[in-house]
Amino acid sequence: MSILKLTNISKSYHSKVGTFDVLKSINLEIQKNSNTFLFGPSGCGKSTLLNIISGMDTPDQGVIHFNDNKIKNHFELLKNEIGIIFQDHYLISELNIIDNMKLKSSNLKNINEIFDYFNINELKEKFPNQLSNGQKQRVCVARALVNMPKLLIADEPTSYLDKENAQLVIDLIINSSKRYNLSTIIASHDLSFKKSFDISYTINDKNLIIC
Residue 202 interacts with ligand ADP (CB under 6 A)?
no
Least Å distance, CB 12 to ligand ADP, is: 9
Which lies closer to ligand ADP via its Cβ, residue 20 or residue 90?
20
Residue 48 interacts with ligand ADP (CB under 6 A)?
yes
- Residues numbered 2 to 31 that lie near ligand ADP (CB under 6 A) are 13, 20, 22
Nearby residues of 107 by Cβ (< 8 Å), 6 or more positions away: 146, 147
Q: If binding means CB under 6 A, how many residues of this protein chain bind ligand ADP? A: 11
Nearby residues of 207 by Cβ (< 8 Å), 6 or more positions away: 24, 25, 26
- Candidates 38-46, 60-68, 71-79, 140-148; binding stretch for ligand ADP (CB under 6 A): 38-46
Q: Can you name the residues that pair with 185 across neighbouring β-strands?
A: 36, 153
Q: Which of 28, 3, 7 is nearest to 187 (CA)?
A: 28
Residue 200 interacts with ligand ADP (CB under 6 A)?
no
Judged by CB under 6 A, the residue of 30, 39, 46, 97 near ligand ADP is: 46
Q: What is the DSSP string of 147-206?
A: T--SEEEEESTTTTS-HHHHHHHHHHHHHHHHHTT-EEEEEES-GGGGGGSSEEEEEETT
Least Å distance, CB 44 to ligand ADP, is: 4
The Cα–Cα gap between 136 and 133 comes to: 5
Task: Please name the residue ranges forming H helices in the chain.
Answer: 46-54, 75-76, 97-104, 108-118, 133-145, 163-179
Judged by CB under 6 A, the residue of 8, 25, 43, 179 near ligand ADP is: 43
Which lies closer to ligand ADP via its Cβ, residue 34 or residue 47?
47
Least Å distance, CB 206 to ligand ADP, is: 10
Q: Can you name the residues that pair with 129 across neighbouring β-strands?
A: none
Which lies closer to ligand ADP via its Cβ, residue 4 or residue 52?
52
Least Å distance, CB 196 to ligand ADP, is: 19
Judged by CB under 6 A, the residue of 45, 59, 128, 157 near ligand ADP is: 45
Residue 185 interacts with ligand ADP (CB under 6 A)?
no
Classify residue 182 as exposed, middle or buried by CB count within 10 Å of its CB (0-12, 13-18, 19+).
buried
The Cα–Cα gap between 131 and 195 comes to: 29
What residues line the site for ligand ADP (CB under 6 A)?
A: 13, 20, 22, 40, 42-48
